[in-house]
Structures are given as C-alpha cells and as structure tokens.
Amino acid sequence: MANTPSDGLACGRLTIDLEALADNWQSLADRTGATECGAAIKGDGYGLGLEKMARALSRAGCRTFFTAVPQEGIRALAAAPETRVFVLAGLLPGMAEAYRETGLIPVLNCSVEIHEWAEYCASIGERLPAAIHLDTGMNRMGLNLEETRAIAAAKDVLARFDLVLVMSHLVCGDDPANPLNGLQLRRFEEMTAYFPEVPRSLANSSGIFLGPEYYFDVARPGISLYGGDAMDDGPNPMRTVVTAEARILITHGAAKGETVGYGAVETLQRDSRIAIVGVGYADGYHRLAGAGEKRIAAKAWINGHTVPLVGRVSMDLIALDVTDVPEADCKRGDWVEMFGPHILVHEVARCADTIGYELLTGFGSRYSRTYIGDPGAEA
C-alpha cells in the first residue's frame, strides 16, 4: 500500500480503519431502520481522505453523500459513481452549468438560489434535482418561515426543477436537554408541511441519538461514522476509526524546579523524565492541548501507560512526562498513541477547548497514512 510520506520517514502515522468506518455506518443504518442513512463526507472526509471514505461507505451500502463544495462532490462521484451527492455550499452565481455537467445536486440555501436554479432549468428545458435548506434556528443557511411560505406559493418556480429533499440542521443536537431541539423539530414539521411528498432530512449524528422523531427520510451522520463522539454526555458507542501515533525522538532527565518548553509555563514538581515526540501543532495537534494556566494538559498513551503532556505544544514537537513509565516501555523510536482507542479524540479536544471535529480535520499532510480493513485493496 502506498503511504505518503513513507511510514518510516514521517514522525507521525495515521492508521485509518475502513472496516470500523463501515461498521459504524451499518450500526447507524440499523438504528435508523427505514430511514435512509446517508453520510457527510465534507472536510475531505473529516480529514481522513474523501475518496477512501466515499468508497468504503458506498461499499457498506451508503447511497447518499453530503459534501461541502462542488470540488469535493466531484471527487466523491469519481470514487463512488453509483451514489447521489448533495453539495451543502449550494449555488454561487454562474455555477448552475457545472452542477448539470457533473450531476451533483445543489442544496439551495436562499430564495435567490432557488430562483436561479429554476431559471437555469427552464433555460435548458430539464427538471434537474436540487434540495432546499430550511433554517429552523441555526441562522446560517436556509430559508426562514416567511421565505418558505413565499417559495411554496410560487408553484411555477418549484415546477421547473425536481425538489428531491428538504433539509434543516440542528444547533444543539449534542445536548438532549436543550429545548432548542424540540423547537427546531416543530419548526421543521411546520415548514416541511409546505412541501408535501418531498423527502425530509434533519438528523446529523447527534440527531440520530436524539431519537426516532428526528429521523425523517434521510439521516446525515458525519462525526459518528469516523468514531467521534456526537453527544456531550454518556459513552460513545462508535468504533475507533483513526489512530494517530508519533515516535519518541529522544528522552532525557530534567530536575525538579526546571521548566519544559516555550514560555516556561510548567515548572517540574519533581525530578522527571521527559520524552519528546515528533509531531506538533503543524500536524494539527492543537497547541492548547498542552500545559497552560488553569488548563489540564491532554494525555498520550505509550506501551500500556497513559502519560500527560508537559509544557507547551511546539510546531513539530511535544513533550511527555514519562517519569512513571519504566525505561523499557519508553525508548527512543517507540510509537506513542496521540489519538486512538486509548486516547479519545474528544478528550484531547476538551483539553484544548475545541471539538473532535476540528482535530480530525486538522491532521494535515505530514502524517503517513495507512488504510486498513479495505477489502478493495487486497490482491
């Protein structure tokens, strides 16, 4: 299998488990039952490689993808031609022709886009497919209630294209107790009633965990497929998909009272042993996951031992406090799990005051990448 950069020469490696990905999709599809389970593969497949994700998910049975921009959609269709691909960014001026040529489906995010799509379809005499995004509370993309009523009344506009999906997006799906969930659900029911018969989609990953009343016709999970934790509380039922490891470059001793790393933000409370690993914030390892005032540093895992980061995260280096690890378990050249089955992405994210999504999409290009559990890759 081709790895770039080559496994031995990069200081970090990502192992991406396509079988776990397929299993995660299947378990969500089982949960949603009669509701079609699609997949969000935006953000370059949540940072894990869009083509690989699309191919593995379509092999698992996924037939509907959501990408951010047309360029991602084109890559998805090339990797999995039998699927339909929605593009969340929608229609920019002059883009309609490209949608027709590629077969991508725009998610129309405002009345102007809807009118432009309708006019374009009329001009070429084809009722091309599109989705309409309804804003039930995010205040980001989509039509509000008034605009929804106006478009629903403009029967001649709607007649010019094939409305295949109406969708909205949850604001606080990760927090089941938040009353905004129920409010968005009621608004979605009210707004989609203007488009009887058109398939509906509301649930992202967390929406699936909120319960069946959020399922509608098509679910759009993302983070859960990639093993991330969709909910604020409770255990994460998904399998780990990505493991990020880095190698120990050197180990050394440092005396009580000394500091480690830039800014001298952390003073050692005892004579310590420090291991330096060769990834840093240039590899998307968030700088705020290191030590700092009033913050708990993230942890890493090495040969069975969980150890804390010490001092700040540098561009290409991270220091670990390995004082309590036997030297035999922590040697120059050993691999350290930075994320994976023992060090959960969302836990590192919490230390850095961010979310697992940001860490997953930020791995960058320096890690070597190995895809395992890929039936298509076997001879």
Active site residue 262: yes
Minimum gap (Å) between residue 175 Cβ and ligand PLP: 13
Which one of 24, 83, 205, 314 is in contact with ligand PLP (CB under 6 A)? Answer: 205
Candidates 50-58, 221-229, 242-250, 286-294; binding stretch for ligand PLP (CB under 6 A): 221-229
Q: CB–CB of 3/370 below 8 Å? A: yes
The CA-atom distances, in angstroms, between 308 and each of 29, 166, 280, 302, 343 are: 37, 46, 15, 11, 11
Q: CB–CB of 48/374 below 8 Å? A: no
Specify the residue, 223 or 246, whose C-beta has the smaller distance to ligand PLP.
Answer: 223
Cα gap 83→38, rounded to integer Å: 10
Q: Is 184 in the site for ligand PLP (CB under 6 A)?
A: no
Specify the residue, 221 or 227, whose C-beta has the smaller distance to ligand PLP.
Answer: 221
Task: DSSP for 346-368, please give it.
Answer: HHHHHHTTS-HHHHHTT--SSSE
The token duo for 129 is 């497919």
Pairing of strands 162-167, 129-133: parallel
Residue nearest to ligand PLP (CB): 222
Q: Is 219 in the site for ligand PLP (CB under 6 A)?
A: no
Active site residue 281: no
Tokens 């659900």, located at residue? 185
Q: Is 200 in the site for ligand PLP (CB under 6 A)?
A: no
DSSP 373: S
> Which of 32, 29, 28, 54 is closest to 41 using CA atoms?
54
Number of residues this chain uses to bind ligand PLP (CB under 6 A): 13
Estimate the crossing angle of helix 179-192 against helix 145-153, to 10 degrees: 10
Minimum gap (Å) between residue 42 Cβ and ligand PLP: 6
Minimum gap (Å) between residue 219 Cβ and ligand PLP: 9
Candidates 111-119, 175-183, 214-222, 347-355; binding stretch for ligand PLP (CB under 6 A): 214-222
Minimum gap (Å) between residue 82 Cβ and ligand PLP: 21
Q: Is 261 in the site for ligand PLP (CB under 6 A)?
A: no
Q: Is 222 in the site for ligand PLP (CB under 6 A)?
A: yes
Specify the residue, 80 or 218, whose C-beta has the smaller distance to ligand PLP.
Answer: 218
Cα gap 24→16, rounded to integer Å: 13
* Site track for ligand PLP across 265-294, x = CB under 6 A: ------------------------------
Return the residues of window 66-95 that contact ligand PLP according to CB under 6 A. Answer: 66, 88
Q: Is 223 in the site for ligand PLP (CB under 6 A)?
A: yes
Q: Is 169 in the site for ligand PLP (CB under 6 A)?
A: yes
Q: Is 314 in the site for ligand PLP (CB under 6 A)?
A: no
* Site track for ligand PLP across 38-57, x = CB under 6 A: --x-x---------------
Cα gap 156→166, rounded to integer Å: 18
Minimum gap (Å) between residue 267 Cβ and ligand PLP: 40
Cα gap 357→189, rounded to integer Å: 29
Around 201, how many Cα atoms within 13 Å sit in the side-chain half-sphere? 25
Q: Is 221 in the site for ligand PLP (CB under 6 A)?
A: yes
Give start and end residues of each alpha helix (H) in the chain: 18-32, 42-46, 50-60, 70-79, 96-102, 111-124, 145-153, 155-158, 179-192, 205-210, 345-351, 356-360
* Catalytic residue ranges: 42, 262
List residues near ligand PLP by CB under 6 A: 40, 42, 66, 88, 169, 204-206, 220-224
